[in-house]
Amino acid sequence: MAMSLVNIIRKGKPVVSAVRRRHFHRTVPAAVQVTVRDALNQAMDEELERDERVFLLGEEVAQYDGAYKVSRGLWKKYGDKRIIDTPISEMGFAGIAVGAAMAGLRPICEFMTFNFSMQAIDQVINSAAKTYYMSAGLQPVPIVFRGPNGASAGVAAQHSQCFAAWYAHCPGLKVVSPWNSEDCRGLLKSAIRDDNPVVFLENELMYGVPFEMSDESQSKDFVIPIGKAKIERAGTHVTLVSHSRYVGHCLDAAAVLAKEGVECEVINLRTIRPMDVESIETSVMKTNHLLTVEGGWPQFGVGAEICARIMEGPAFNYLDAPVTRVTGVDIPMPYAKILEDNSVPQVKDIIFSVKKMLNV
């Protein structure tokens, strides 16, 4: 640059104007890192502020800031009438929330874990999911049931179930299962604004995980449409379809396989019901191979439904090998860590299944 300035001076050109015309390298601003917990908190905060009909209730959501601190600061900001601590009675407070939704409010009902939603399943299925149909469209039930779902760490059989397939089985419900911070923020805002009951399945192990978020995804107007999957990584050899925490496992497996010449296309379902079958079919028609990955049990699971839909649709004729499922093991979750690790999908299981499918 010094020599070029000397030449400019010798030629009698103004130095300042020459420097102004020069293009300097500009560093791209670093994307903001936001944890899943904070993304959920921001989404609820913004929707509580946007619509006075929205309120949050559940066990320890107010003064304690939530069992997992997802509702941190909301009670201090919005007070007792909109952030409500409830007794330890899921059937009771889920019923209160459903009744409030029928009366025109937009409740967010938090279960400390979706395993406890079994105490309230009559309210979720018979009261929330079926009322719009049974009233011939006269009575909507705009409610969000949210909380951690699936296996955590060291909490054994009664606190480790995945309820994605359970709730996705029921017409009248929308079932959302986000992976990263962008998913959680955009989908929770959509769920709160939706006029249908939405089951919003989070993952306890993901709450503290930070993800980069763009300026667009941090806008108050940012929403992600329910029912649309996202291609997290493009590929040509095999399609990996997953939801929640196991999308990350698929991306990790894809990175390892790429070093061996196998390019995986990774699809983040985001929504279980309604399922974006079209995106899966389009990918399978390109890759000719399909592997599903989930933390739930194999029988009648999300992967089983995907297999059936592919078999019944146009993508079946494009398959060069049978569809393969990687799932949780068909047993109640053990407590011992080594048994727990072998009861849920690991990255190595995905890699092994892909290689077996492709015969490499």
Residues 6+ apart with CB under 8 A from 134: none
Q: What distance in Å separates the CA atoms of residue 19 and residue 2, rounded to the nearest whole number?
A: 11
Residues 6+ apart with CB under 8 A from 306: 241, 275, 277, 280, 290, 292, 323
Q: What's the longest Cα–Cα distance across the chain?
A: 87
Strands (E) in the chain, as ranges, are 32-35, 54-58, 83-85, 106-110, 144-148, 174-176, 198-202, 210-213, 230-233, 238-242, 264-268, 271-273, 290-293, 324-326
- Nearest Cα neighbor of 85 from 53, 112, 106, 105 is 112
In the chain, DSSP finds a helix count (H) and a strand count (E) of 14, 14
Residues 6+ apart with CB under 8 A from 83: 55, 56, 57, 61, 62, 71, 74, 75
- Active-site residue, 52 included: no
**Backbone torsions φ then ψ of 249, nearest 5 degrees:** -60, -40
Q: Are the beta carbons of 310 and 290 closer than 8 angstroms? A: yes
Catalytic residue among 46, 47, 59, 90: 90
- Active-site residue, 169 included: no
Q: Which amino acid is at 340?
A: E
Q: What distance in Å separates the CA atoms of residue 197 and residue 187, rounded to the nearest whole number?
A: 14
Q: What distance in Å separates the CA atoms of residue 196 and residue 172, rounded to the nearest whole number?
A: 7
Catalytic residue among 60, 159, 169, 263: 159
Cis peptide before 345 (omega within 30 of 0): no
Would you name the residues annotated as active-site residues?
Answer: 90, 159
